[in-house]
Amino acid sequence: MEQVSRKAGSNIVLALDLPLGKPKKLLFQAKKILEAVHPHVCAVKFNHHLTLPLGLFGDLQDLLNQAKGFGLPTIMDCKINDIGSTNQTIAEYYFEAGFDAVTANPFVGWEDGLCPVFNKAKRMNRGVLLLVYMSHKGASEGYGQKIIGEEREKPQFQYRLFAERALKWGAAGAVVGSTYPEKIKELNLVLKEKVPIYSPGIGIQGGNTEITIKNGATYLIVGRAITQAENPLRIAIELKRIAHKSAK
């Protein structure tokens, strides 16, 4: 990831999210966007917007191969949060389909939860990104709540516990919403340089590129701001430029 990012001079992860549509049209649109912006991004993130209509082993393979052809790592944003055996099955199918990383929700816990996913990823040399603070408004209702642990004296914020899990479990990244720049700043201190922060929510959700980078995000996840733009290429170049300038 780091290598690709350095080579492309970009820390933009393209979230290839398109609104509901017919499979053939979605495939055509997605390929066109990826073809246009690929020199200016460092990875591609997929979500159910495409896996459900195209099928993981169906037309989605076409897109995954296109991304691979451009030398871009691929992330499946499946937000795994089931019991251990199911989580492992999910991860195996996504890895088998060609994804380099999956996202997972640390809320589900370790034992018979995400342990099998991290083990499987390690064996297959893939990554697991953990959700630490999501970008939407309701995030405060879960990620922002205060927890009393049995062995702790002081209450802890949920997202701080999740950041500790990211460090302890060896996550390849921590997802923290760009709509909460103060959380990025705080979590960047906790995660130091061990776990890079991936930040979604730039643009349509209200996140600001410069502020997000200055507060410590390593990668920006950008979806609709690019995919729904009249000229995705222009936006991708512009975001890359601002992100690059802000990182100095």
Q: What spatial distance separates the first Cα and last Cα of the chain, rounded to whole Å?
A: 20
Q: What gap in Å lies between CA 204 and CA 143, rounded to an integer?
A: 21
Minimum CB distance to its own copies smaller for 147 or for 247: 147
Contact status: 134 vs its own copies (CB under 8 A): yes
Spatial contact of 12 and 222, defined as CB atoms under 8 Å apart: yes
Spatial contact of 184 and 215, defined as CB atoms under 8 Å apart: yes
Q: Would you call 45 a catalytic residue per the annotation? A: no
Q: What gap in Å lies between CA 26 and CA 46, rounded to an integer?
A: 13
Q: Of 224, 225, 220, 243, whose CA–CA distance to 235 is shortest?
A: 225
Minimum CB distance to its own copies smaller for 23 or for 190: 23
Kindly write out the interface string for residues 58-87 of this chain, putting x where it contacts its own copies by CB under 8 A and - elsewhere.
x------------------x-x-xxxx-x-
Minimum CB distance to its own copies smaller for 82 or for 241: 82
Among 105, 199, 218, 246, binds its own copies (CB under 8 A): 105
> Pairing mode, if any, of strands 127-133 and 156-157?
unpaired
Q: What gap in Å lies between CA 99 and CA 48, rounded to an integer?
A: 14
**Torsion region of 192: left, alpha or beta (phi above 0 gives left; psi -120 to 50 gives alpha):** left
Kindly write out the interface string for residues 9-48 of this chain, putting x where it contacts its own copies by CB under 8 A and - elsewhere.
--------x-xx--x-----------------------xx
Kindly write out the interface string for residues 186-225 of this chain, putting x where it contacts its own copies by CB under 8 A and - elsewhere.
-------------------x--------------------
Q: Of 87, 29, 20, whose CA–CA distance to 226 is shortest?
A: 29
Q: At closest approach, how far in Å is the CB of 8 from its own copies?
A: 26
Number of residues that bind its own copies (CB under 8 A): 52
Contact status: 153 vs its own copies (CB under 8 A): no
DSSP 42: S
Question: Which residue in 31, 68, 79, 214 is the catalytic one?
Answer: 79
Active site residues: 79
Residues in contact with its own copies by the rule CB under 8 A: 17, 19-20, 23, 47-49, 52-53, 55-58, 77, 79, 81-84, 86, 89-90, 92-94, 97, 105, 107-115, 134-142, 145-149, 155, 205
